[in-house]
Chains A and B, each alone.
Chain A
Amino acid sequence: MPPEKEEIAVRTRRFGSPGMFFNALLPLAGMLLALLIGAVMLLILKVNPLTAYAEMVGGALGSVSGITQTLVKATPLLLVGLGICIAFRASVINIGGEGQIIVGALAATWFPLTFRMWPGWLLVPSTLLVGFAAGAAWGFIPGILKARLKVNEILTTVMMNAIALQLMNLLIRSVLMDPAGITAGTYLAQSERLPEQSWLTRLVPQTLLHTGTLIAVALAVIVYIFLWRTTIGYRIRAVGLNPDAARFSGINVPFNQALSLTLAGGFAGIAGAVEVLGVQHRLLEGITSGYGFSGIVAALFGGLHPLGTIPAALLFGGLLVGGDKMQRAVQVPNSLIDAILGLVVLFVVGSALWSRRWAARRQMAAAKNQKELG
């Protein structure tokens, strides 16, 4: 066999190998291991882990209410995760999800209250767009700072979170404060309820499940097409994988980094708008529920692939709902739930590393076999 052919034969082996199935199972194995350690912690707290986990699974999946709640929580996770996919694909680290959700929610509160005469078919889409624009603006600022002045985006996005949070605190205690609360003298830190025609349609009666979930899934498909089928997506990926080669090919690297951060902010902004229009129908403190951070984990879990982020967001949504149910059912401290979630993340990330090393080792063995056969 001539050497070149041989080389190719060795290298083709990697593709379409049966390892794909194995690699898909590995994160699940990691998760089981994490739950096992969680079981030990539950035992220390003198709680039967089996009943606790039964509550958890049952809580998230065992009823219509559980399933819909899981979907409701998965929606913002997915939306934030989609933005993270775009940013991280460009090698831009966006930690600013929280702030971007907040400004998206702020804009999506202000807009329907201002244009309350508009019909629903016009008001809902335009409010979502306004939410996107607000989040995008919040992502654009760190983006342009990075592009023009090479300011580290991790630093700026975190700072933009603090600014957004305090901005919200200020606004819902002043101009956006619910007039009813002022009249009643309660002065609750929340906005007025939004006009009814701006609410997202509920999909299942008596639950919170709303059309935002469908919008998020549709957007996942769009982001997939965007990243892999369009020129802009191609450039973003090239910039992320090798900024030098991108630059040498005439691609404007800083522009594409700023663009990806802007888009990431936009998706988090939609998440904020969807929370307001679909779940709360008004702006409240704590509207983000930490989705800006857990969305990052969901995206990483989904392999930074928009479609992979869908099941990842569902998984984390389920863990949030199930953990909540478990906590109430077996009376364990809330922090234990956080610890178990943390373990899941740790083990799944660890299993990914392990699988990569495993693949390298298999490849080596394949090379050896091939050589001996040839």
Chain B
Amino acid sequence: MAHGVPTNEKQQIQRVEMCNITKCFPGVLANDRVCFDVNQGEVHALLGENGAGKSTLMRQLYGLYRPDEGEILINGRPYTFNSPADAIEVGIGMIHQHFMLVPTMTVAENVALGLKSSREPMLDLDKVSARIRELSQLYGSIIDPSAYVWQLSVGEQQRVEIIKALYRGASLIILDEPTAVLTPQEVNDLFVTLKRMVKDGHTLIFISHKLHEVMAISNRVTVLRDGCLIGTRLTSEVTRNELVKMMVGRDVRQLNPQPLKSGPVRLEIQGLQAMGDRGTEALRGINLQIHGGEIVGLAGVSGNGQRELAECLAGVRKTNHGTILMDSVDISFMPLKQRIDSGLAYIPEERMRDGAVREFSVQENVFLHDHASPKYTHGIFLDFARMRVFASELVKNFNVKTPGLDTPIKNLSGGNIQKLIMARELSRQPKVLIAAQPTRGVDIGATEYIHQRLLQQREEGIAIFLISEDLDEICVLSDRIAVLYEGRIMGIVERNEATVEQIGLMMAGISMTEAMQR
């Protein structure tokens, strides 16, 4: 097989056009007359905030949804895809954010899954394996076809997904936020692979909300906002600021927090150990101090113990060993309610699961913890009048956009829900704030606002522990950055002391001394 020619006798995709695509979901117009096109051999980035309709648009191209209106032309011919099988048939592949692999099967078995064997009814795994080797060599990373998927790293699993798509003869591959789960080094490796694929005549659609990646890899970029097409530009002719403006609809100002003189230690973690959900060791001795007036960022690839650490601090996960001190008081054995009452605030990672009651109104959600406080009750009766005054003040102060205080919170956008949760947590004037993924899935406007608020709280002397998978966020906001890897802290660096690459190495498990020398 020569370079660049797809496996089967499939036609090469020269050009894909999506014309006036409209897609409606209950309560949301996800795509509103969106036009999009991609030509062979280009990387076309699809940029937009969460909920802008990027994934929805691409899922229609991949046959997962059917457009309500509009048509899809491939090489000038209209196509209707009833399922991904139809799209694969034409040569379209999609790499999802969440991988569609069976962990207990080998790479070869995963790739062959759902395909007809060349010697039915027997499997032809040897043949498949040979082809996998060929493909993985071609694109720069060696994958062992007989390895089990659960043994592979996240980055390797992503390779398997790509190989799976190539094996099925995809000439156009859609990558849905492929870098969200990778370390900076893995992102670089991925980009090398992607560039080789393009050189071989493959076409890529790259969905992202990260500007620097879009600038680095794409030839053209299309921006969506609120389901509408904002515009398509040549990447070489557009600046980052212009793209931000297209995404958000206005200018976004850059944060540049000034160093503060930090106060006394407010949160101290000593030798903390805890189990994960599956009974494995998730935290293997965490030591960390956070001062008042300081933001400490916790960087790390997801699944290295961030969630467990946050939950241990909040008091919803049992610790096996170690102590947690808040203002020198041992809170390790305090139940959650007592921790909150003594000054701990927590913005949980899964805000709709752990931070809010979907069906409750905005006002009811404000009082999840404080509803029994004497300020808002007469005996056992709730004092709605006073609750209302307080809730409307919070909503106003934190710029929460809601039709009213009685609106169920599920009708608010993610950003507004997060602002409300943050308002609730900060309204108690806490000593320590644990913010887990505070801006995940939140639009740029709200993210900006949340960041400003965090910096403002820092100035007021609160100790802030910022746990985030967004390395940019950590680097901008944190005074010090701790890197978590497999339940251990690999090192703690001052902001500006280490480069993103050095932090990335530590995220991949390389020790601090070694990482700092490179």
* Interface positions of A (Cβ within 8 A of B): 2-4, 6-8, 10-12, 14-15, 229-232, 234-235, 237-238, 241-242, 244-252, 360-361, 363-364, 366-368, 371
- 28 A-B residue pairs with Cβ-Cβ distance under 8 Å, sorted by A, are A11-B403, A12-B403, A12-B407, A229-B381, A229-B382, A230-B381, A230-B382, A231-B372, A231-B380, A234-B364, A242-B358, A244-B350, A246-B357, A247-B316, A247-B336, A248-B354, A249-B368, A250-B340, A250-B369, A251-B337, A251-B368, A360-B26, A360-B27, A363-B26, A363-B27, A364-B25, A364-B27, A367-B29
Which B residues from 341 to 384 make CB contacts under 8 A with A? Answer: 341, 346, 348, 350, 353-360, 364, 367-369, 371-372, 377, 380-382, 384
CA–CA, A241 to B348, complex, Å?
17
CA–CA, A285 to B367, complex, Å?
48
Contact A4 B401 (CB under 8 A): yes
Q: Name A248's contact: one of B336, B359, B367 (CB within 8 Å).
A: B336
Contact A242 B357 (CB under 8 A): yes
CA–CA, A247 to B335, complex, Å?
11
Q: Name A242's contact: one of B29, B356, B371 (CB within 8 Å).
A: B356
Contact A234 B337 (CB under 8 A): no
Contact A371 B32 (CB under 8 A): yes
CA–CA, A360 to B26, complex, Å?
5
CA–CA, A238 to B401, complex, Å?
23
Chain A residues near B28 (CB, 8 Å)?
Answer: 364, 367
CA–CA, A252 to B335, complex, Å?
10
Contact A245 B356 (CB under 8 A): yes
Chain A residues near B357 (CB, 8 Å)?
Answer: 238, 241-242, 245-246
Chain B residues near A364 (CB, 8 Å)?
Answer: 24-28
From residue B504, how far is it (CB to closest CB) to chain A in Å?
A: 32
Which B residues from 276 to 302 make CB contacts under 8 A with A? Answer: none
Does B249 make an interface contact (CB < 8 A)? yes
Contact A250 B353 (CB under 8 A): no
Chain B residues near A363 (CB, 8 Å)?
Answer: 26-27
Does B226 make an interface contact (CB < 8 A)? yes
Contact B401 A231 (CB under 8 A): no
From residue A232, how far is it (CB to closest CB) to chain B in Å?
A: 6
Chain A to chain B: the 7 pairs with minimum beta-carbon distance, closest first: A250-B337, A249-B368, A360-B26, A249-B369, A242-B357, A12-B403, A230-B380
What residue of chain A has the Cβ atom nearest to residue B376's Cβ? A231
Contact B368 A246 (CB under 8 A): yes
What residue of chain A has the Cβ atom nearest to residue B355's Cβ? A245
Knowing A3-B226, A238-B357, A250-B337, the reply to whether A8 touches B402 (Cβ < 8 A) is: yes
Chain A residues near B227 (CB, 8 Å)?
Answer: 371
Contact A231 B369 (CB under 8 A): no
Does B275 make an interface contact (CB < 8 A)? no
CA–CA, A245 to B359, complex, Å?
12
Chain A residues near B382 (CB, 8 Å)?
Answer: 229-231, 234
CA–CA, A15 to B402, complex, Å?
13
CA–CA, A245 to B367, complex, Å?
12
Contact B354 A245 (CB under 8 A): yes
Contact A242 B381 (CB under 8 A): no
Contact A234 B359 (CB under 8 A): no
Contact B226 A8 (CB under 8 A): no
What residue of chain A has the Cβ atom nearest to residue B29's Cβ? A371
CA–CA, A47 to B440, complex, Å?
66
What residue of chain B has the Cβ atom nearest to residue A5's Cβ? B401
Chain B CB within 10 A, most for which of A12, A229, A232, A367: A367
Given contacts A245-B356, A248-B346, 6 further A-B pairs with CB under 8 A are A4-B413, A6-B226, A12-B407, A14-B411, A230-B381, A231-B381
Chain B residues near A249 (CB, 8 Å)?
Answer: 340, 368-369
CA–CA, A364 to B27, complex, Å?
4
What residue of chain B has the Cβ atom nearest to residue A371's Cβ? B29
Chain B residues near A248 (CB, 8 Å)?
Answer: 314, 316, 336, 346, 348, 354-355
Does B225 make an interface contact (CB < 8 A)? yes
Contact B411 A241 (CB under 8 A): no
From residue B152, how far is it (CB to closest CB) to chain A in Å?
A: 31
CA–CA, A11 to B338, complex, Å?
38
CA–CA, A222 to B446, complex, Å?
42
What residue of chain A has the Cβ atom nearest to residue B445's Cβ? A4
Chain B residues near A12 (CB, 8 Å)?
Answer: 403, 407
CA–CA, A232 to B413, complex, Å?
29
CA–CA, A251 to B336, complex, Å?
9
Contact B381 A241 (CB under 8 A): no
Contact A3 B26 (CB under 8 A): no
Chain B residues near A242 (CB, 8 Å)?
Answer: 353, 356-358
Contact A235 B353 (CB under 8 A): no
CA–CA, A364 to B403, complex, Å?
18
What residue of chain B has the Cβ atom nearest to residue A361's Cβ? B26
CA–CA, A242 to B369, complex, Å?
14
Chain B residues near A230 (CB, 8 Å)?
Answer: 380-382
Q: Name B360's contact: one of A6, A7, A231, A241 (CB within 8 Å).
A: A241
Q: Name A8's contact: one of B346, B350, B359, B401 (CB within 8 Å).
A: B401
Chain A residues near B356 (CB, 8 Å)?
Answer: 242, 245
From residue B28, how far is it (CB to closest CB) to chain A in Å?
A: 6
Contact A11 B225 (CB under 8 A): no
What residue of chain A has the Cβ atom nearest to residue B30's Cβ? A367
From residue A89, how far is it (CB to closest CB) to chain B in Å?
A: 11
From residue A234, how far is it (CB to closest CB) to chain B in Å?
A: 5
Contact B316 A231 (CB under 8 A): no
What residue of chain B has the Cβ atom nearest to residue A3's Cβ? B226
Chain B residues near A368 (CB, 8 Å)?
Answer: 24, 29
What residue of chain A has the Cβ atom nearest to residue B413's Cβ? A7
From residue A307, how far is it (CB to closest CB) to chain B in Å?
A: 18
CA–CA, A237 to B407, complex, Å?
17
Knowing A10-B27, A235-B371, the reply to whether A244 touches B402 (Cβ < 8 A) is: no
CA–CA, A192 to B288, complex, Å?
73
Bits for B119-154, please: 1 = Cβ < 8 Å to A, else 0. 000000000000000000000000000000000000
From residue B203, how far is it (CB to closest CB) to chain A in Å?
A: 31
Bits for B405-429, please: 1 = Cβ < 8 Å to A, else 0. 0010001010000000000000000
Bits for B450-478, please: 1 = Cβ < 8 Å to A, else 0. 00000000000000000000000000000
Bits for B218-259, please: 1 = Cβ < 8 Å to A, else 0. 000000011100000000000000000000010000000000
Chain A residues near B336 (CB, 8 Å)?
Answer: 247-248, 250
Contact B354 A231 (CB under 8 A): no
Contact B371 A234 (CB under 8 A): yes
What residue of chain B has the Cβ atom nearest to residue A365's Cβ? B24
Chain A residues near B225 (CB, 8 Å)?
Answer: 3
What residue of chain B has the Cβ atom nearest to residue A225's Cβ? B381
Chain A residues near B372 (CB, 8 Å)?
Answer: 231, 235
Contact A11 B26 (CB under 8 A): no
Chain B residues near A7 (CB, 8 Å)?
Answer: 413
CA–CA, A249 to B340, complex, Å?
8
Chain A residues near B364 (CB, 8 Å)?
Answer: 234, 238
Contact B32 A11 (CB under 8 A): no
From residue A367, how far is it (CB to closest CB) to chain B in Å?
A: 5
CA–CA, A249 to B356, complex, Å?
9
Contact A241 B358 (CB under 8 A): yes
Chain A residues near B314 (CB, 8 Å)?
Answer: 248
Bits for B15-29, please: 1 = Cβ < 8 Å to A, else 0. 000000000111111
CA–CA, A164 to B384, complex, Å?
42
CA–CA, A11 to B406, complex, Å?
13
Chain A residues near B413 (CB, 8 Å)?
Answer: 4, 7
Q: Name A244's contact: one of B337, B353, B407 (CB within 8 Å).
A: B353
Chain A residues near B27 (CB, 8 Å)?
Answer: 10-11, 360, 363-364, 366-367
